[in-house]
Amino acid sequence: MSVKIEVIEGGIPHQKIMIGGLVSTLVCLYLTYLNVLTKTEMFAFFGGLAMITALIWGSHTIKVLCSYGIGTGVPSAGMIAFGSGVIAMLLATKFAPVMGIPTAPIVALVLAAVIGFILGYISNNILNMKIPAMVQALTEMAVVGALSLMGFAALITGGFSFAGLTPIKIVVTSQGLVPTSQYSFLGGGLIAVAFLLGAIAIQHPFNACLGPGWKQDRMLMLTAECGFLSMIVAAFMSFAFISTGSAMISLLVAILGWAYTYNQYICLSKRDAASWLDAKPIPEMEGH
Amino acid sequence: MSAVAAKPQAGGAMNPTAMAVGVVMLVIILALCWYVSPGAGLMALVGVIIGGVLIGFGTHFVPVGGAPAAMGQAPGIATGVAMLAAGAGLAGLFGGAWAAEQGLVIATLTGGVGGGLMMAITCMMVNFVYVFGMGIPAASGKVANDPITGDSQKEFKSQGTEGHGLPFVSFVGGVIGGFLGGAGGTLIYYQLLKLYEATLPTMIGVPLVQVMPIAIAAAGMFAVGLFLVNAVLTAYNITGTIEGPHDPKFKRWPRAIVASAVASALCGLVAILIVVPM
């Protein structure tokens, strides 16, 4: 059995973050369904918030797992989270709403948990890692990957049904009017961009904050900052799929959220630093 | 406790019970796939499993140095297993995807060549930086003589290090690993693409040319996901650094074969279920 190098001192216990993250992610995902109920697209930004809450939960899971010194680097944890998550998420989008209530987020949750659990069993027993947190962490991470990709899908296209991610549009080309699925979230390959936007945002915070000076609130604030940064990019992409006004709302929420979390993160960094110097840009020297 | 002493103690031991459970899981997943999609789906799943096993096995050849290599204190390329495997595999996947129209053999070989080429270039540039930039010779810490060239290693190894640079055997291992990884990734992509091309038009009810972007994107996305899962599981098997095929850790590959087969079968089944009518 490997030895745990760092212990979590103070801060919110992981169990609380997990439950809070899971519940708020699901609530935000279901709030995007207001788009269908009200026949608008202005609630797409809830998809971005779902993605951010999932990432906050996921980055703390990475902290729990990587505290054991798995010897493979922190980024690998983010990669397996989204690698297993994208597989569960794509299948889950196929499940149609039951009695008007969308089932896709719940199916994604269950499917990703099953995949993650089996991957955890494989690494812990077949590969003999013998890390106590492994099975639970990989299960959580697959769920985080699946739900945050679903959040990206809702943010960019306004929904998360398979038909909504792969619509066939008639476009004007040099051969005349051609119906094609090229201009969609899946067919256009935007899912690959969302994949990496999420994968980088989930692994960066612990990679950047780890060490003896690790503080929980600082790391989670950095996660929120990375999440809003990814949301800005995704909100730009959403201009291609949803109405301009709705995309503007998403962009505004993303920029305001990013500015707030960035400021907070700088404040927390200053709080935890031994000392800091506000270095100005190189001044223009006159007459030298 | 210092971080050095706290390295994972996974070791090379096999866990026979878990291996047996893994094989049983593999059989169950294959049976499930046979139940939902006996013809094309099962064939695709077998291809996906072979591809995943190629990735898992190939990753063991790649010389991974990690952080110690960045400081010139261990041989290998200075990054993690998952990043290197993903780099080689995705380079191969992009190469192979171009050749997908020319059939299974050419596509898989093209993918392999793409991955091998990427690793060859990486290994060469790494040695350039080590030799001309950092001024250190290539020396293995795990063997006395290079298994291929027979060159003695001990004289070139600095005291207090595990070797440094990229000895010839590591270079060859990297190219073999890149070839296997690229070929495996392309095989997964090719199998899923052919399955989606055959099933998506009837499922959505439009001609193939209209859903081709979806088939390509879904197959590519699943291939990337499967690749990352396999690469990270292999990284967990190696736990940290490996010098190449001459490293004692290389002997752990049977565990990775079982792990990759089960993980690929599981993820492949989910990828196939997306085109099974429900």
Q: What is the pLDDT of residues B33-84, one digit of tens each?
A: 888 888 888 889 999 999 999 999 998 898 888 888 888 888 888 888 878 8
> If contacts are CB pairs under 8 Å, which of residues 152-211 in chain B contact chain A?
204, 206, 209-211
Per-residue pLDDT tens for A148-164? 999 999 999 888 888 77
Name which of B57, B195, B229, B269 to mutate to probe chain A: the one with the most chain A Cβ atoms within 10 A of its Cβ: B229
B41 in reach of chain A (CB within 8 A): no
The angle at the Cα of A83, spanning A77 to A86, to the nearest 5 degrees, equals 135
Task: Give the whole-angstrom CA distance, residue B241 versus residue B81.
Answer: 8
Interchain CB distance below 8 Å, B232 and A131: no
Interchain CB distance below 8 Å, B213 and A69: no
pLDDT of residue A19: 93
Interchain CB distance below 8 Å, B6 and A69: yes
> If contacts are CB pairs under 8 Å, which of residues 220-259 in chain B contact chain A?
220-222, 224-229, 231-233, 235-240, 255-256, 258-259
Interchain CB distance below 8 Å, A130 and B10: yes
Q: Residue B260: pLDDT above 80? A: yes
A239 CB neighbour count, 10 Å cutoff: 15
| pTM for the predicted model, two decimal places | 0.88
Instruction: Please answer whether residues A149 and A191 qualify as being in contact, where contact means their C-beta atoms are separated by less than 8 angstroms.
Output: yes
| Chain A residues in contact with B83 (beta carbon < 8 A) | 73, 75-76
Number of A–B residue contacts, CB under 8 Å: 193
Task: Give the whole-angstrom CA distance, residue B14 versus residue A18.
Answer: 33
Interchain CB distance below 8 Å, B86 and A122: no
Q: What separation in angstroms does the CA of B150 have from each of A13, B146, B169?
A: 55, 5, 10
Nearest of B258, B249, B230 to residue B64 by alpha carbon:
B249
Interchain CB distance below 8 Å, B10 and A182: no
Q: CA-nearest residue of chain B to A192? A: B221
Length in residues, chain A: 288
Per-residue pLDDT tens for A98-121? 777 788 889 999 999 999 999 999
Share of chain A above pLDDT 70, in %: 96
Share of chain B above pLDDT 70, in %: 95
- Over its C-alpha atoms, chain A yields an Rg (Å, rounded) of 21
pLDDT of residue B12: 64
Q: CA-nearest residue of chain A to B235? A: A72
B4 in reach of chain A (CB within 8 A): no
Interchain CB distance below 8 Å, A69 and B7: yes
| Chain B residues in contact with A84 (beta carbon < 8 A) | 225, 229, 267
